[in-house]
């Protein structure tokens, strides 16, 4: 497993469902076991679209290419099937679901992953949940509150990382997790992701971000620049710093092609 | 300060101005019509006379007077605002119904219907328990300790002889008298049995009183009454669960519910309607809250082919408070009609209504609510919210909140929404590994949870959530 990629995207094209405007014009990307990658790019470059398409959001339609997760093309699978295979999307804008507590649906999600043959151990679950809440510096009552209902921006992002910590994905897609976070919340979130990655070195992470600041806490193995629906440049962590200094201006012509 | 509709498809009727058209509440004066509607081979004066034959004069007179009101009140039609969406000519086959005469019944657990036994087994401990089978009380239990404190829990029929001083002034007089309408009159004339609960001053019941009512006979009309009196400073919660088999021929169950909370008393009244297919359940409730009393209600409508609730909450004393909660879940061609009234007579009183429904299949939900603030009811706080979640494109919801305000120093609001399941919510949960049905179930139960969480009462929330989850599972 260590040698074969966790995620392998080839010539992925996608558009908004029901519209003719293609947003991803052939994305290629390979993430190996345990690697942390970052995708950076200006607004409107297709970063979030890529995350949503990988997670199976019904608002987008794949028009070409493939995305293999653990060797299997997942583009034909439902979002729940992808999640049960170990994919996780931390939302840029987590929705508020009244009346559904984090604990309740995480329990349901873990049980769904186990299938019908195995019963989730509720004591283990509670213990794990409490531990994870401690890591992310939230009150124990946090998990009893309805998902994101009345949460501050920082709480919503912590809730996303808490869910990730409990669900322990093989591949975490983090869609602009750093946006709308103050520096304290950013540090907590980064600490959480780092701890998870250290705990389970097999977890691969794809960080989607506009800014470099999260990457100064979580050092990526690879950085890709997505502009106009294509990856126009890839490099090591130093690329993120370069982008932070120079901006995306030099890639503009790429859009025109 | 009316709230804006959040979603499409909402029907919106509002009249905030004083002196708007009054409710068609009293049917007693409609003497102009010669029609004697609703008299059938089974439902006629003779039936009332037979029922009243051995009863005390006051009751016999009351039944016959109620019958006269019934006779001179026309059958409600869809021309009346209150019955606009429930067409009785189509939904109620009165002339096909036979009466279910009262007969002495005993409850035997070993021979009881499985559904009734299961429903009772799911309940937590109670202060008292009444089992009613086909309109006759079959068993009454009450903790001795409460009996010795003067609490009365019994069959209404038996209480007529045992407690005439308590019943005569209150039975079908103040709360749900015959003059309220055609079916209030019919129930007052033809009721066979029901529950009487009396809690003396200052007595507080830690555990709820439970009533389990079971209806098994097809093609029948059953009339049952509930009378609850909580004297000053007392406290009680009451859970009435109605269950039935499925009926090939329509069975009509009429329940009249009268609830009195005297000064400073606290009452929680819960109606849990789980009738089978083919049942028409009509529940006509009136709650009267006196000075500083708290009188909260929760109507859970899950079963029946047609379910109609008329709830009128009267805030009669200053400082009175009523939370009015409702939950309905419909599927197939179920029809729910909730008709509520918040009647603010005294100043400084508060009422807060929240009714939420999820509708699947071809089911239909109607909510019509009015806040009426009478002259002199200054510093009233009255709120009313109805929210509907449509789970299929064939389900429909009508929501008609209304305000009528005759006082000038009040805080009132009303709002209504009809919306669909949000695909973003479903996707969010599915992205965590929940299947689509699991995700939808969670969103729906979460939607209703807001109501149920406001009335935390031993086991009711869990029971209702469990039933809805099972129904969603199909």
Give the per-residue pLDDT at A3. Answer: 63
Give the per-residue pLDDT at B175. Answer: 98
Share of chain A above pLDDT 70, in %: 96
Q: Do B431 and A55 touch (CB under 8 A)?
A: yes
Give the per-residue pLDDT at B127. Answer: 96
Q: Which residues of chain B have pLDDT under 70?
A: 1-35
- With cut-offs at 50, 70 and 90, classify the pLDDT of residue A1: very low
Total residues found in chain B within this entry: 474
Q: Tell me the shortest Cα–Cα distance from B443 to chain A, in angstroms.
A: 7
Q: Do A83 and B432 touch (CB under 8 A)?
A: yes
Minimum Cα–Cα distance from A113: chain B residue: B433
Give the phi and the psi of residue B187 in degrees, each rounded to 5: -65, -45
Would A64 be classed as within a structural domain? yes
8 A C-beta contact, residue B419 and residue B10 = no
Q: Do B430 and A80 touch (CB under 8 A)?
A: yes
Number of domains chain A contains? 1
Give the per-residue pLDDT at B5. Answer: 36
Q: Do A80 and B446 touch (CB under 8 A)?
A: no
| Mutation for B interface: A108, A148, A167, most B CBs within 10 A | A108
CA distance A205 to A173: 6
| Mutation for B interface: A105, A113, A148, most B CBs within 10 A | A105
Residue B389 with chain A: CB contacts under 8 Å: none
Would A107 be classed as within a structural domain? yes
Minimum Cα–Cα distance from A110: chain B residue: B433
Would A247 be classed as within a structural domain? yes
pLDDT in tens, B360-382: 999 999 999 999 999 999 999 99
**Chain A contact present for B446, CB below 8 A:** yes
Would A65 be classed as within a structural domain? yes
CA distance B99 to B367: 30
**Chain A contact present for B430, CB below 8 A:** yes
Give the HSE-up count for residue B14: Cα atoms under 13 Å, Cβ half-sphere: 15
Q: Tell me the shortest Cα–Cα distance from A133 to chain B, in angstroms.
A: 18
Minimum Cα–Cα distance from B438: chain A residue: A108
Give the CATH number, domain containing residue A88: 3.40.50.300
Q: Do B423 and A100 touch (CB under 8 A)?
A: no
pLDDT in tens, A7-20: 999 999 999 999 99
Would A47 be classed as within a structural domain? yes
pLDDT in tens, A180-225: 888 888 998 899 899 999 887 779 999 999 888 889 899 999 999 9
Give the per-residue pLDDT at B34. Answer: 52
Residue A88 with chain B: CB contacts under 8 Å: 431-432
8 A C-beta contact, residue B401 and residue B13 = yes
Give the per-residue pLDDT at A253. Answer: 56
**Chain B contact present for A48, CB below 8 A:** no
Would A50 be classed as within a structural domain? yes
Residue B433 with chain A: CB contacts under 8 Å: 80, 83-84, 109-110, 112-113, 167
Query: Residue A109 belongs to what domain range?
Result: 7-256
Would A1 be classed as within a structural domain? no
Minimum Cα–Cα distance from A91: chain B residue: B428
Mean pLDDT on A18-37: 94
pTM: 0.87
Give the per-residue pLDDT at B124. Answer: 83
Residue A99 with chain B: CB contacts under 8 Å: 445-450, 453
Give the per-residue pLDDT at B335. Answer: 98
**Chain A contact present for B429, CB below 8 A:** yes
CA distance A73 to A10: 10
Minimum Cα–Cα distance from B428: chain A residue: A95
For A164, the enclosing helix (H) or strand (E) is: helix A153-167
Sequence-separated (6 or more) residues with CB below 8 Å from residue A88: A163, A164, A167, A169, A171, A172, A173, B431, B432
Minimum Cα–Cα distance from B450: chain A residue: A99
Tokens 């009727």 identify what position?
Answer: B13
Give the per-residue pLDDT at B35. Answer: 57
Would A239 be classed as within a structural domain? yes
8 A C-beta contact, residue B369 and residue B398 = no
């Amino acid at each position: 497993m260590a040698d074969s990629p966790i995620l392998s995207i080839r010539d992925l094209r996608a558009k908004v469902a029901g519209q003719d405007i293609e947003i991803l014009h052939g994305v290629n990307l390979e993430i190996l076991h345990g690697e942390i990658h970052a995708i950076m790019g200006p607004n409107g470059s297709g970063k979030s679209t890529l995350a949503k398409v990988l997670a199976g959001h019904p608002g987008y339609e794949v028009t070409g290419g493939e995305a293999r997760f653990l060797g299997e093309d997942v583009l034909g699978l439902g979002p729940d099937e992808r999640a049960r295979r170990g994919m996780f999307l931390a939302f840029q804008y987590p929705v508020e679901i009244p009346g559904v507590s984090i604990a309740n649906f995480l329990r349901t999600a873990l049980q769904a992953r186990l299938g019908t043959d195995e019963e989730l151990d509720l004591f283990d679950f509670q213990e794990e949940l409490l531990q994870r809440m401690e890591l992310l510096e939230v009150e124990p009552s946090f998990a009893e509150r309805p998902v994101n209902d009345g949460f501050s921006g920082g709480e919503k992002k912590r809730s996303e990382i808490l869910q990730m910590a409990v669900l322990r994905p093989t591949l975490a897609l983090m869609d602009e997790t750093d946006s709308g976070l103050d520096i304290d919340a950013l540090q907590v979130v980064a600490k959480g992701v780092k701890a998870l990655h250290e705990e389970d070195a097999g977890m691969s992470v794809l960080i989607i971000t506009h800014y470099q600041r999260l990457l100064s806490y979580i050092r990526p193995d690879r950085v890709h620049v997505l502009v106009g629906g294509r990856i126009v440049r890839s490099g090591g962590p130093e690329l993120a710093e370069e982008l932070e200094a120079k901006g995306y201006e030099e890639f503009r012509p790429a859009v025109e092609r | 300060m009316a709230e804006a509709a959040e979603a499409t498809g909402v029907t919106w009727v509002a009249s905030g101005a004083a002196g708007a058209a009054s409710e068609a509440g009293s049917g007693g004066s409609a003497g102009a019509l010669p029609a004697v509607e609703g008299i059938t081979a089974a439902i006629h004066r003779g039936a009332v006379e037979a029922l009243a034959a051995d009863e005390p004069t006051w009751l016999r007179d009351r039944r016959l007077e109620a019958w006269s009101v019934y006779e001179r009140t026309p059958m409600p039609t869809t021309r009346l605002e209150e019955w606009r969406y429930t067409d009785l000519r189509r939904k109620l086959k009165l002339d096909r119904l036979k009466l279910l005469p009262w007969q002495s019944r005993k409850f035997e657990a070993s021979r009881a219907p499985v559904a009734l036994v299961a429903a009772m087994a799911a309940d937590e401990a109670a202060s008292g328990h009444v089992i009613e089978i086909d309109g006759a009380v079959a068993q009454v239990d009450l903790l001795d300790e409460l009996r010795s404190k003067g609490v009365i829990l019994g069959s209404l029929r038996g209480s007529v002889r045992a407690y005439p001083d308590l019943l005569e002034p209150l039975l079908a007089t103040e709360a749900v008298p015959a003059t309220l309408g055609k079916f209030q009159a019919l129930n007052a004339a033809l009721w066979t049995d029901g529950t009487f609960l009396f809690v003396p001053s200052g007595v507080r019941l830690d555990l709820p009183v439970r009533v389990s009512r079971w209806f098994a006979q097809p093609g029948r009309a059953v009339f049952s009454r509930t009378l609850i009196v909580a004297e000053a400073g007392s406290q009680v919660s009451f859970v009435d669960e109605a269950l039935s088999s499925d009926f090939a021929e329509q069975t009509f169950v009429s329940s009249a519910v009268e609830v009195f909370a005297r000064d400073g008393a606290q009452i929680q009244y819960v109606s849990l309607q789980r009738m089978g297919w083919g049942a028409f359940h009509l529940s006509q409730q009136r709650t009267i809250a006196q000075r500083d009393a708290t009188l909260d209600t929760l109507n859970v409508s899950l079963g029946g082919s047609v379910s109609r609730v008329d709830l009128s909450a009267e805030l009669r004393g200053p400082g009175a408070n009523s939370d009015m909660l409702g939950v309905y879940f419909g599927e197939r061609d179920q029809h729910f009609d909730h008709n509520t009234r918040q009647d603010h007579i005294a100043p400084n009183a508060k009422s807060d209504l929240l009714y939420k429904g999820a509708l699947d299949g071809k089911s239909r939900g109607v909510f019509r609510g009015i806040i009426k603030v009478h002259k002199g009811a200054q510093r009233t706080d009255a709120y009313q919210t109805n929210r509907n979640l449509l789970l299929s494109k064939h389900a429909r919801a009508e929501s008609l909140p209304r305000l009528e305000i005759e006082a000038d120093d009040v805080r009132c609001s009303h709002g209504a929404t009809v919306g669909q399941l949000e695909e973003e919510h479903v996707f969010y949960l599915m992205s965590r590994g929940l299947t689509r049905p699991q995700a939808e179930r969670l969103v729906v139960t979460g939607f209703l949870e807001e109501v149920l969480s406001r009335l935390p009462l031993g086991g009711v929330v869990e029971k209702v959530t469990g039933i809805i989850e099972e129904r969603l599972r199909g």
